[in-house]
A = this chain, B = another copy of it.
Amino acid sequence: MILGNSFIGNQQKGDGSLQFKTFNPSLNKDNEWSFIEVTALELSEATELASQAFKIYRNISDDKRAGFLEEIAFEIDSLGDYLIQVYCQESGLSRDRAIAEKDRTLFQITSLATFIRSDWRELTKEDAEPDRLPKPKPKLEKTYLPLGPVAVFGSSNFPLAYSTGGGDTASALAVGCPVIVKSHPMHAGTGELVASAIIKAAIKTGMPNGVFSNLNSAGIQLGIDLVKNPNIKAVGFTGSIKAGRAIFDIANSRTEPIPVFAEMGSVNPVVISPNSLENEADHWAAQYADSITQGNGQFCTCPGLILGLESNHLKKFSSLLAEKIMQVKPQLMLHPNIHSAYVRLGSEAKNSENVFELTPSMNLDSNYAGQTILSVKGKQFLSNVNLHNEVFGPFSIIVSCADQEELLSVINSLEGQLTGTVIFDQTEKNDFEPIIEELKYKVGRLIFNGVPTGVESSPAMNHGGPYPASSDSRFTAVGVQSIRRWIRPICYQNRH
Chain A interface (Cβ within 8 Å of chain B)? 55, 58-59, 100, 124-126, 134-135, 137-138, 140-142, 145, 147-148, 248-249, 252-253, 256-257, 259, 415-416, 426, 437, 440-441, 443-450, 454, 456, 458-462, 464, 466-468, 471-474, 476, 481, 484-485, 487-496
Contact = CB atoms under 8 A, between A and B. Distances in A.
B458 A140 contact: yes
Contact of A444 (B126, B440, B489): B489
A415 B230 CA distance: 12
A147 B100 CA distance: 36
A452 to B, nearest CB: 9
A140 B489 contact: no
A490 B126 contact: no
A55 B38 CA distance: 51
Given A248-B252, A259-B474, A140 B460 contact: yes
A147 B441 CA distance: 8
A437 B145 CA distance: 11
A445 B454 CA distance: 41
Contact of A490 (B443, B448, B456, B472): B443
B259 A450 contact: no
A354 B472 CA distance: 46
Nearest to A470: B488
B458 A126 contact: yes
A462 B426 CA distance: 46
B142 A441 contact: no
Nearest to A255: B467
Closest 3 A-B residue pairs measured CB to CB?
A140-B460, A462-B491, A473-B488
A256 B467 contact: yes
A483 to B, nearest CB: 11
B252 A491 contact: no
B142 A491 contact: no
A134 B107 CA distance: 14
Contact of A460 (B142, B148, B447, B449): B142
A271 to B, nearest CB: 14
A251 to B, nearest CB: 9
Contacts of A147: 473-474
A493 B446 contact: yes
Nearest to A489: B462
B145 A492 contact: no
One complex includes copies of this chain to the number of 2
A16 to B, nearest CB: 32
Given A140-B456, A460-B491, A464-B488, 12 more contacts: A138-B454, A140-B461, A142-B461, A147-B473, A256-B416, A257-B471, A443-B490, A444-B488, A447-B493, A450-B494, A474-B484, A481-B489
A492 B461 CA distance: 9
30 contacts: A59-B437, A124-B459, A126-B458, A135-B454, A137-B456, A138-B450, A140-B458, A145-B440, A147-B473, A148-B441, A248-B252, A252-B252, A256-B416, A256-B467, A259-B474, A444-B488, A444-B489, A445-B490, A446-B490, A446-B493, A447-B494, A448-B496, A449-B494, A450-B493, A462-B490, A462-B491, A466-B488, A474-B484, A474-B485, A474-B489
A241 B183 CA distance: 36
Contact of A141 (B124, B426, B460): B460
B461 A491 contact: yes
A58 B437 CA distance: 10
Contact of A124 (B448, B460, B487): B460
A379 to B, nearest CB: 23
Given A124-B460, A126-B460, A467-B256, A492 B142 contact: no
A131 to B, nearest CB: 15
Identify which of A100, A454, A473 gathers the most chain B CB atoms within 10 Å of its CB: A473
Nearest to A254: B467
Given A126-B458, A448-B496, A467-B256, A441 B145 contact: yes
Contacts of A450: 138, 493-494
